[in-house]
Structure 1
Amino acid sequence: MGQVVSTPETVGFLLVPRFSMIAFTAALEPLRLANHISGRQLYRWVLLSPEGGAGEASCGLRIAVDSAMDAAPSLPTLIVCSGVDGHWYDDRRVLSWLRRRAAEGVELGSVCTASHILARAGLLNGYRCTIHWENLAGFAETYPEIEATGELFNIDRNRFTCAGGTAAMDMMLYRIASTHGEKLAVSIAEQLLHDKIRQGSVRQHVAIQPNPGIDREELAAAVKLMQENIEEPLDLLALSAQLGQSRRNVERLFRKFMNCSPARYYLGLRLQRARQLLCQTKMSVMEVAISCGFVSATHFSKCYRDYFGVAPRNDQSSHRVRHLIEPVRQMAGVK
């Protein structure tokens, strides 16, 4: 049952440069449809940007905003929308503004990579949160004191975070159901052709099943076990024993469905995790190597170069240079 609400709830959306358009619209559209289906104005929304200019999404589209954040009206709820390179976003004025809103009792949310921004502002200490699976490892390394769950969305007291993409839709539908009833939330989901409202506790599917070709329970279990043992990799005998399978059967499954050996697939998972850490954290190459189960930087560098075609240090440097240059290029109108 929902609560009886007589006045519309106003939700602010702070659009950080290069925010994810799909996560933003997935959070906003359920509010619009709540008004449309109910025939009442249950929600209002205010779009903000740090400086007041149009917010530019990662896809290049620009969204007109209502005001700069400093001129924003009083808001009971504020959602920070981020996207590409949100893990590097460190605008001190924005972080200070968010801390002031939190001190005023504003309920704070995030979509996609914006959990990084709330964490950098010190606003997720003591809270459970989540973030997109691609950023989860980097977030955990950067903020080891914060519990990051890897679930679709988390609502913990006056903080709510989601993984981005369509997870933002599930989170907002959950919030609408809590306030205005499940019947309205279901009607909204039907309008969106969203056949099932997922609970926040659902694990991000890609984190467990990284390849859409995995449709066998035994293979999915093997991949999940590999992902859970990146820092201290299991050898094939230990992996097979934990799965309750013979070594030969595990090898057969990977050869048949993944077209490679279990060891090769496992190495790929570790190297992909390594690339996330190199590009999303300030960890050194040696620290990343150890975190991903390599006993030496030399061996790690060789495997990385063979897999990605570039040395880890060069890959890390080029990513950080792109992070610094891309905003300048966009401001100058260079495509």
Structure 2
Amino acid sequence: MSNLPRKATPIAKEATPRRFVFLLLDRFTMLSFAGAIEPLRIANRVSGQELYRWVLAGEGGEYATCSNGAAFKLDMGLDEIERDDIVLVCGGVDVQKATTRGIINWLRREARRGATIGGLCTGAYAVAKAGLLDGKKATIHWENQDGFLEEFEAVKLTKSVFVMDGNRWTTAGGTSSIDLMLKVIAADHGEDLANTVADQLIYSTIRTDQDTQRLSIPTRIGVRHPKLSQVIQMMEGNIEDPMSPADLAEEVGMSTRQLERLFRRYLNRSPKRYYMELRLQKARNLLMQTDMSVINVALACGFASPSHFSKCYRSHYHTTPYRERGTQGLPGGAPARLSI
């Protein structure tokens, strides 16, 4: 960082600092946490004032370990906080296991007292598990969306980078925490300060809650062909009730043979094979992120029978759905691989 940061428009003196309580779940993701706390530190530095304060909280009140093994000393346990505090739940891998009864009860208690509560990365799972996102718009890392949708039907899940629905905030993980905090800083102290903080972070493109978290289909597949992108979008939107190649081709105004050639040329596989891989990927997410039965996972991914599902799954992943779930080592197949 430069020793002489660009000065933001002066802020009225005596501004009351806002306090953030970062609730660090076991094996939380460092990137999302750092992306939230660093903009606050920089805002204080470039403004020359203590605009924000923060404390680190966690069950037990001693240390919390993130997914890369680094340990953080906590300032507090699950103690009562101030009514105006903002709680940000930092999640990561194994978030179901990390979301203990004590965490859920604490979140519910502070929500009843009026606190703003948010979830960073898979922290949205803990907030939803406490029932605090029912009827609210929210987001979570794209890898976790399938399981989240199945478990929390009352939540209006989006694919946005971040969502602020009243006093419930959620982010998609990764660098999306930066976007959320820049939004908060701009609302509190103006766009000029937020832009100055972004400059200090070398963050040249600030995203809004209208931006989606995943790359566009053409970017993801490395091919810019409008009809191919349209077909893949239809496939992704019709996993439970798959469309036939003929119907897909008709929707984009081409013959089935033309569709076959298009997929062979750009993706080196048939439309049927590509569609199958999408369905199996969703099935794997559900097996690892939910306690849905294998039969229900099969149905949710468009397979008419468990035997057909198992055969296709084994062919693609070289293991059966039952063994895949068994490798998690937990009753009911509790998920182990969640988020980055």
TM-score (norm 2): 0.89
The whole-number CA distance in structure 2 between the counterparts of 1:172 and 1:98 is 21
| Superposed CA offset, 1:219-268 (max 9, x none) | 33322221111001111121122233443443333223322111111111
1:2, distance to aligned residue in structure 2 (A):
12
| Aligned partner of residue 79 in structure 2, secondary structure | helix
The answer to whether 1:154 aligns with 2:154 is no
- Higher-helix-fraction structure: 1
| Aligned partner of residue 117 in structure 2, secondary structure | strand
**1:252 pairs with 247, 258, 261, which one?**
261
1:320, distance to aligned residue in structure 2 (A):
4.2
The whole-number CA distance in structure 2 between the counterparts of 1:55 and 1:181 is 34
Quote the residue 2:244 is aligned against. Answer: 235
1:93, distance to aligned residue in structure 2 (A):
1.1
Quote the residue 1:120 is aligned against. Answer: 129
Instruction: Give yes or no for contact 1:130–1:163 (8 Å, CA) kept in 2.
Output: yes
1:216, distance to aligned residue in structure 2 (A):
3.5
The whole-number CA distance in structure 1 between the counterparts of 2:135 and 2:228 is 36
| Superposed CA offset, 1:8-46 (max 9, x none) | 111110000000111111111111111122222111111
Amino acid of the structure 2 residue aligned with 1:147: K
**Equivalent residue runs for 1:7-86 within 5 Å:** 7-70=16-79, 76-86=85-95
Instruction: Give yes or no for contact 1:2–1:182 (8 Å, CA) kept in 2.
Output: no
Structure 1 window deviating more from structure 2 (2-11 vs 226-235): it is 2-11
| Superposed CA offset, 1:46-65 (max 9, x none) | 11111112210011111122
Structure 1 window deviating more from structure 2 (180-189 vs 104-113): it is 180-189
The whole-number CA distance in structure 2 between the counterparts of 1:207 and 1:163 is 16
The whole-number CA distance in structure 1 between the counterparts of 2:88 and 2:270 is 44
Aligned residues between the structures: 326
Instruction: Please provide the CA RMSD for this pair.
Output: 2.4
1:215, distance to aligned residue in structure 2 (A):
3.8
| Aligned partner of residue 151 in structure 1, secondary structure | coil
Quote the residue 2:319 is aligned against. Answer: 310
The whole-number CA distance in structure 2 between the counterparts of 1:171 and 1:318 is 36
Quote the residue 1:284 is aligned against. Answer: 293
**Equivalent residue runs for 1:121-140 within 5 Å:** 121-140=130-149
Instruction: Give yes or no for contact 1:274–1:289 (8 Å, CA) kept in 2.
Output: yes
1:271, distance to aligned residue in structure 2 (A):
0.3
| Aligned partner of residue 306 in structure 1, secondary structure | helix
The whole-number CA distance in structure 1 between the counterparts of 2:52 and 2:187 is 14
Instruction: Give yes or no for contact 2:218–2:225 (8 Å, CA) kept in 1.
Output: no
The whole-number CA distance in structure 1 between the counterparts of 2:335 and 2:234 is 39
Quote the residue 1:176 is aligned against. Answer: 185
**Equivalent residue runs for 1:211-222 within 5 Å:** 211-222=220-231
Aligned-pair identity (%): 41
Instruction: Give yes or no for contact 2:231–2:248 (8 Å, CA) kept in 1.
Output: yes
1:209, distance to aligned residue in structure 2 (A):
6.3
Instruction: Give yes or no for contact 1:209–1:223 (8 Å, CA) kept in 2.
Output: no
| Superposed CA offset, 1:280-299 (max 9, x none) | 11111110000000111100
Structure 1 window deviating more from structure 2 (2-11 vs 155-164): it is 2-11
Amino acid of the structure 2 residue aligned with 1:119: A
Quote the residue 2:6 is aligned against. Answer: none
TM-score (norm 1): 0.90
1:6, distance to aligned residue in structure 2 (A):
1.0
User: Any stretches of 5+ residues in structure 2 without a counterpart?
Assistant: 1-8
| Superposed CA offset, 1:114-148 (max 9, x none) | 11111111111121111111111101100112111
Quote the residue 2:3 is aligned against. Answer: none
| Aligned partner of residue 79 in structure 1, secondary structure | strand
The whole-number CA distance in structure 2 between the counterparts of 1:182 and 1:155 is 18
Distance change (3 Å), C-alpha of 1:209 and 1:93 = farther
The answer to whether 1:110 aligns with 2:119 is yes
| Superposed CA offset, 1:133-182 (max 9, x none) | 11111011001121111211110111000111011111111111111111
1:74, distance to aligned residue in structure 2 (A):
6.0
Quote the residue 2:328 is aligned against. Answer: 319
User: Any stretches of 5+ residues in structure 1 without a counterpart?
Assistant: 327-335
